[in-house]
Amino acid sequence: MNPPQFRIGLGHDTHRLGAVGKPLLLGGVLVPHECGLIGHSDADPLLHAITDAILGSLSLGDIGDWFPNTDPRWKDGDSALFLRHAATELVNRGWEIVNLDSIVHAERPKLGPFKRQIEAHIATLLGLPADRVSVKAKSGEAVGPVGRGEAIQAEAVVLVSRRSIG
Ligand code: MG
């Protein structure tokens, strides 16, 4: 059987809102809000979901395996570092990202004005053309932990392909 030329990865993350005085980061972009997200690192659910999707595409475990939230090195850590680390592991194994799609679930703040900026920032972090990255935003329709404004969640899916030789 020929080895596969494409694989996919899926990522999901949840962080609770309520970190007073902590900046709200989504996809590495500072989004003005009255509070940030609670977490060991900078608590960026979108970058965590994308990192997990990249790791998952090659069955490399999850973000907690690579960056345990009990490790003081990652306290208030920049999640862009986690993302770049996963992307480097992918490249080192001979693979590249074809495209990634994602959803951020947040009741507030409204993310519509920030989606394009977040896409561009993630594309830059991954060294991808901007049209390979998609960020969509959904409200929680006033139900569940997202809808009640208690949490922000993110999902991501990534398609990867073997790098062509020569
Ligand atoms: Mg997380």
Q: Domain locations in the chain?
A: 6-162
Cα of 4 from ligand 1 centre, angstroms: 30
Cα of 137 from ligand 1 centre, angstroms: 18
For residue 45, the model assigns a pLDDT of 98
Q: Are 103 and 137 in contact (CB under 8 A)?
A: yes
Residue whose C-alpha is closest to residue 26's, from 129, 101, 103 = 103
Q: Which of 71-75, 83-87, 88-92, 95-99 has the lowest mean pLDDT?
A: 71-75
Q: Are 47 and 38 in contact (CB under 8 A)?
A: no
CATH architecture of 6-162: 2-Layer Sandwich (3.30)
The secondary structure of residue 149, as a DSSP letter, is: T
Sign of CA dihedral 142, 144, 148, 152: negative
Q: How confident is the model at residue 74 (pLDDT cuts 50, 70, 90)?
A: confident
Cα of 164 from ligand 1 centre, angstroms: 33
Cα of 165 from ligand 1 centre, angstroms: 35
Q: Are 104 and 14 in contact (CB under 8 A)?
A: no
Q: How far is residue 77's CA from residue 157's CA, in Å, rounded to a whole number?
A: 23
For residue 165, the model assigns a pLDDT of 65
- At 42, the amino acid letter reads D
| Residue whose pair of structure tokens reads 């999707």 in the numeric block | 53
- Separation of CA 114 from chain center: 15
For residue 166, the model assigns a pLDDT of 53
